[in-house]
């Protein structure tokens, strides 16, 4: 779904899964600095929006999600996963309940698969699952923003900022009110801060065999004191009896390189040279207005914490995100 904000001056379209919104509006680092300082907003209108209504919505979701949501207070943001039967991550939901409806935004174009699964699990529960993507656009205000939220708009507030479920028909008029919240900021600024804060993203930090422990999602998206959801046995077994096979790392990349390593670029031990064995891969690489080129990556659990790495041909120093 193509955003009308791509018609704003300087807009450069994002690519790949984020196609449909702006990567930036002509000045990447200026936008990043402003956004990090609490000014502006990011158009996330390409993300899917799903709602669940009905008297049983929270107790029903509690049975399906990795997070404890049966008593989720109105207005409290949380995040949750849906796992496969083997404990592999399939969906990440960014949730808030407004007292009558549970709202979630999800990765672009993933809402159909999510809704199909939820519909298959309704049974006798009094719930209604609805795709609201055509009606509502997600807009993100950064941490520190003092912008007012339009009346009646559902808000998901986190330490990293606020997600607004804005009526899609109001998106252009919202963007025009720069005196209230500042100008539109491109997705690359949002992604740079996501990487800085070590926040994983489905389809970037995950592959077909990723489990929550590898990405540091235990606690924030997985509640260990609840059971009765698909994949829970794997979560409990790894937590109590073992260690995950891989771990998320934060990477400082060599700033002299012109190009960033792409998603999937092989990570190797620098000491083993260009033909060394693969010990992981780059998941997201970005340019940060203060830190320079940085990335997230997945490496084997037993990679030494002080090991110097190479991402393709780019030198990389690692910082621990998930303990081995």
Residue with tokens 């672009």: 108
pLDDT at 255: 85
Instruction: Name which of 188, 196, 320, 243 is nearest 309 in CA terms.
Output: 320
Residues 290, 196 contacting (CB under 8 angstroms):
no
Q: How far apart are CA 282 and CA 215, in angstroms?
A: 13
Distance CA 300, CA 179 (A): 48
Per-residue pLDDT, 174 = 97
Alpha-carbon distance 27 to 309, whole Å? 31
> In angstroms, how far is CA 116 from the centroid of its own chain?
21
Residue 45 · residue 135 · CB < 8 Å = no
Pairwise CA distance, residues 33 & 26, whole Å: 14
Taking the C-alpha atoms of residue 188 and residue 51, their distance in angstroms, rounded to an integer, is 27
Q: Token pair of 311, please?
A: 């991402």
Report pLDDT for 276.
Answer: 84
pTM over 0.75: yes
**Which 8-state DSSP code applies to residue 321?**
S
Report pLDDT for 257.
79
Please report the pLDDT score of residue 275 as a whole number. Answer: 82
**Which whole-number Å values give the CA distances from 319 to 27, 85, 252, 316, in the listed order?**
29, 32, 8, 10
Give the pLDDT confidence score for residue 66 in this predicted structure.
Answer: 98
Query: What is the CB neighbour count within 10 angstroms for residue 9?
Result: 8
CA–CA distance, 293 with 286 (Å, rounded to integer):
6
Instruction: Sheet containing 78-83: give its strands across.
Output: 78-83, 89-97, 101-106, 48-53, 128-131
What distances in angstroms separate CA 37 from CA 141, 161, 241, 298, one per listed residue?
Answer: 11, 11, 43, 29
pLDDT one digit per residue (tens) for the chain, 324 residues: 899 999 999 999 999 999 999 999 999 999 999 999 999 999 999 999 999 999 999 999 999 999 999 999 999 999 999 999 999 999 999 999 999 999 999 999 999 999 999 999 999 999 999 999 999 999 999 999 999 999 999 999 999 999 999 999 999 999 999 999 999 999 999 999 999 999 999 999 999 999 999 999 999 999 999 888 999 999 999 999 989 999 999 999 998 878 999 999 999 999 998 788 899 999 999 999 999 999 999 999 999 999 999 999 999 999 999 999
Beta bridge partners of 12: 24
Where would I find the H helices in the chain?
Answer: 28-36, 57-64, 111-120, 171-176, 178-181, 187-196, 232-241
pLDDT (0 to 100) of residue 192: 97
The C-alpha angle 52, 55, 61, rounded to 5 degrees, equals 50
Q: How far apart are CA 154 and CA 74, in angstroms?
A: 11
Q: Report CA 85 to chain centroid distance, whole Å.
A: 22
The SS3 of residue 113 is helix
In whole angstroms, give the CA distance from residue 1 to residue 14: 12
Per-residue model confidence (pLDDT) at position 227: 81
CB 165 within 8 A of CB 105: yes
Helix, strand and coil content of the chain, in percent to the nearest 5, comes to: 25, 35, 45
């Amino acid at each position: 779904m193509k955003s009308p904000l791509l018609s704003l001056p300087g807009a450069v379209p994002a690519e790949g899964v984020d196609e449909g919104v702006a990567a930036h509006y002509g000045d990447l680092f200026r936008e990043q600095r402003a956004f990090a300082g609490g000014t502006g907003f990011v158009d996330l209108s390409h993300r899917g929006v799903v709602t669940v209504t009905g008297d049983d919505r929270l107790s029903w979701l509690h049975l399906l999600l990795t997070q404890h949501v049966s008593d989720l207070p109105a207005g409290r943001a949380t995040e949750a996963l849906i796992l496969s039967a083997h404990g592999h991550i399939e969906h990440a939901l960014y949730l808030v309940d407004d007292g009558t409806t549970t709202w979630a935004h999800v990765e672009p174009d993933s809402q159909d698969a999510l809704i199909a699964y939820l519909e298959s699990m309704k049974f006798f529960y009094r719930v209604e699952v609805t795709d609201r993507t055509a009606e509502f656009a997600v807009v993100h205000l950064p941490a520190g923003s003092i912008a007012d939220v339009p009346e009646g708009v559902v808000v998901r507030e986190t330490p990293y900022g606020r997600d607004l479920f804005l009526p899609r028909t109001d998106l252009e008029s919202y963007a025009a009110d720069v005196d209230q919240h500042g100008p539109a900021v491109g997705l690359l600024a949002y992604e740079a801060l996501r990487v800085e804060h070590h926040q994983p993203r489905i389809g970037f930090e995950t592959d077909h065999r990723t489990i929550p422990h590898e990405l540091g999602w235990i606690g924030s998206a997985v509640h260990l004191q609840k059971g009765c959801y698909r994949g829970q046995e794997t979560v409990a077994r790894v937590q109590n009896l073992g260690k995950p096979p891989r771990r998320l790392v934060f990477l400082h990349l060599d700033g002299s390189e012109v190009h960033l390593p792409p998603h999937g670029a092989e990570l190797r031990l620098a000491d083993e040279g260009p033909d060394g064995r693969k010990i992981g891969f780059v998941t997201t690489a970005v340019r940060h207005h203060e830190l320079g080129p940085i990335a997230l990556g997945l490496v084997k659990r037993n990679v030494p914490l002080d090991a110097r790495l190479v991402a393709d041909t780019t030198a990389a120093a690692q910082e621990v995100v998930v303990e081995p």
